[in-house]
Structure formats: structure tokens, C-alpha cells
Amino acid sequence: MVAIGRVGIIGGGGWLGSAIAKALVGSGTVSDQLLTCSFRSNKPENSVDCLWTRDNSELVKKSDVVILSVRPGDWSAIDIDAGGKLVVSVMAGVTVEDIKRRTGSTRVGRALPNAAAEIGYSYTPFFVESSEPKDADIIDTLFRSCGTVDAVNQEEHIDYFTAMSGSGAAFPALLAEALMSDAIARGVPAEVAQRAAQQVIIGAGRLQEFNNVSPSETVKSFVDYKGNDRSWHHCDAANGI
């Protein structure tokens, strides 16, 4: 495993920063003794038992890797000198060049975990611009603690994923809402409709993961299903099940 060293999370008191901190410590990726988190006003309740500070400059001094987990609108208020450090931003829409210019670091990555990081099921694409070959492995290791990770070779892809995976939970939620609304309109009790719609989404995700086939193959298996001929099980057969 790549050596990560000391990690600091600026904005570790926010929901995403807190989720990342818990994932890092909970997975054993970073020990609580090597983690520093900063907060703006109050230390959050039920937080990770690491070093906490209001001073972002102090956090940077204590860290080898600095994660920027603040709202893009608050970015202009962050004043740090992170020269020589690996700086990883989880802010949407803030470019690598802007981060380099304002932090003094030449080792900068952008990662985009989503809300599922809190339960270890995030999808996190990342882009890195650094002369240190190990930096990509460090970022991969950090965010693998939150779920699934992919490196992308174009920064523009991170901006695209802001809408796709960054808002990922909203897409199945919209489908569940439509299913639930239609069921209610047809006289199904609301609590039953909600339970059914939610379980459709949960079960579909688990089935997709279990069969490990493309979405188009899943769709085709249901389109081709003809009663009891088990044609829809071709996904399982393809996997030797």
C-alpha cells in the first residue's frame, strides 16, 4: 500500500468532510493520530476523534496531504500556503490552475465523491496534475475508503461528473418518486407505494452489482423474458452462476 502520511481536511466539520474523515479512519486508511480536521465555528458532534483546529494554516503545517472540502462559494476565504504538499479538492467547479495559484502547490488533484461516501458507497472520479507519480495512488487510496474510484485523464471529465455521479442519488430518487406517484394515483396506499418504489431501486442496484453486466444487458434480459423459460437468467449464466 502507498504511504499516505499525515492528512488534513479543511472543512472537516462539514457533512462531506466529516464523511471522508470517518471513512478514512473507519477503514484504517489513515489513523486518527495522523488526521487533522478544521472547522469554521463549532466542532461537530459525533465527530472523528482526531486533532481539530480552527486554524487552516496550522492544519497545513501538520499535513502531507491537504483535502479542500469547503463550498465553492467559501473558497475565496481560504488563505493557505501549501507549497510542497499534495492538495486534493472536492469542490465542484474550481479548477486545478486556480487551486495551484491560490495554494502555492504544484501537486493538485480534483476528486468528486458523492453523498454515498457517508455509507462507503460513493463513486469518486479524480484527476491529478503532479510531477510526483505516487500522488495518483495516494488519491486513489484515500477515496477508495469511501467506495469505488476511477482516475480520469481530462479535468473536464470531473466537471461532467459533477452532474452525473455527483448528483447520483437524485436520479434513482426521481424514478422512485414517479413510481410511487403513479401507484398512489391508482389507489395503492402511500406507505405501500413508497416501500415498493424504494425497494425497486435498492433491489435493482444490488442485482446490477451481483450480475456485473452492462445496463443494456439487464434491460434486454427483462425485455426477452417469456414466462418460465428463465431467459432472464442469461446474466447469471454468463457469470457461471
Shared-domain flag, residues 102 and 131: yes
Of 164, 196, 212, the domain-final residue:
164
> Is 2 a member of any domain?
no
Question: Nearest 5 degrees, angle CA 106-CA 130-CA 8?
Answer: 70
Asked if residue 51 and residue 114 are part of one domain, the reply reads yes
Number of domains in the chain: 2
Mark whether 159 and 174 lie in a shared domain: no
Give me the domain span that covers residue 190: 170-238
Q: pLDDT tens for residues 45-64? A: 777 889 999 999 999 999 99
Place of cell 463550498: 71
Task: Among 147, 164, 181, identify where a domain stops.
Answer: 164
Q: pLDDT tens for residues 96-141?
A: 999 999 999 999 999 999 888 888 889 999 999 999 999 999 999 9
Q: 45 with 59, same domain?
A: yes
- The enclosing domain of 129 has a CATH number of 3.40.50.720
- Do 52 and 144 belong to one domain? yes
Which of 105, 138, 164 is the endpoint of a domain?
164
In the chain, % of residues over pLDDT 70: 93
